[in-house]
Structure 1
């Protein structure tokens, strides 16, 4: 009978090889914490991570505070601009001190020269489940006295939404 090898040890060696390469690549762009690149959505939140990508960290001449450059599309730039201080605070929480003193936003087109490097995809919206027959019946009863078909259907949809929210 053949003896099984411990396969997790092989994975540990592979991960250590990759972590060295990831660290070297991220440090060449100024990222002392590679976690900022690999876990960007956890650092800044999924909503901000869906529309932004960290590009570069540049350090000043005196060494006091660095500038984080974030890439986003032109349409999302005003939203990101309003959240710069929150992003800076979250990034500094990763470093453990006020390493980033300024957040700079660079705008780009969603496709074009940055294609393949920065992917800006729309967030996947989950489809609402269909209301149960009991909720449909209760909604139809609540809007039953309305004469206009369009208004009655709109009120039924509203009642279905309200009853679905109150059930969950």
Structure 2
């Protein structure tokens, strides 16, 4: 008697409406992270919060390696050659921050890998520059924004509209000039 093939598995249905993208990708991120030695994927996904904004702008975690020498792992960070000496001086504080994420002294060493500003070809680790400070609006722009928002009675709303108008007018004038 011939066997009939099993029906294809039906995909799981989600009845909760829209879901956050992080929830849909959580398992894939965890698998990729574990393949690179990251037992806690939070180290990858929340690097800005762990390392701090200044350190995260110039470093990227590459892998966590577990050596033969025993306790503790080695965290390898990617950075540019110009930033390596500064990071070298702050390695101990960074190690403490990373170990706070793990909950115990999981990382015993931090190694630095230096690269060009565009990073390796695999992930193209982009190192972002510090955000540029916006120039202060000119008095003429401030006066025009205040006159546009003047009819609004609510103080908080009027202040928000003035700020919006200043941003719009400043952007428009910079594109024209």
Distance 2:75 2:67 in 1: 11
Correspondence 1:67 to 2:74: yes
Shift of 1:123: 1.1
Aligned with residue 59 of structure 2, among 45, 49, 52:
52
Correspondence 1:81 to 2:88: yes
Distance 1:112 1:64 in 2: 30
The corresponding residue for 2:171 is: none
What SS does the corresponding residue of 2:132 show, helix, strand or coil? coil
CA contact (8 A) 1:108 1:114 kept: no
Shift of 1:127: 2.0
What SS does the corresponding residue of 1:7 show, helix, strand or coil? coil
Aligned with residue 7 of structure 1, among 9, 17, 41:
17
Shift of 1:116: 4.6
Correspondence 1:105 to 2:112: yes
Distance 1:6 1:26 in 2: 28
Aligned with residue 42 of structure 2, among 23, 35, 50:
35
Shift of 1:63: 3.9
Gaps of 5+ in 2: 1-14, 141-177
Q: TM-score, normalised by structure 1?
A: 0.67
**Deviations, residues 43-92 of structure 1 (Å, cap 9, x unaligned):** 01000000000001000225410000000000000111011001100000
Gaps of 5+ in 1: 134-168
What SS does the corresponding residue of 1:87 show, helix, strand or coil? helix
The corresponding residue for 1:18 is: 25
Name the count of aligned residue pairs.
Answer: 126
What SS does the corresponding residue of 2:77 show, helix, strand or coil? strand
Q: TM-score, normalised by structure 2?
A: 0.64
CA 1:7/1:107 → structure 2, altered by over 3 Å: closer, same or farther?
A: same
CA 1:69/1:124 → structure 2, altered by over 3 Å: closer, same or farther?
A: same
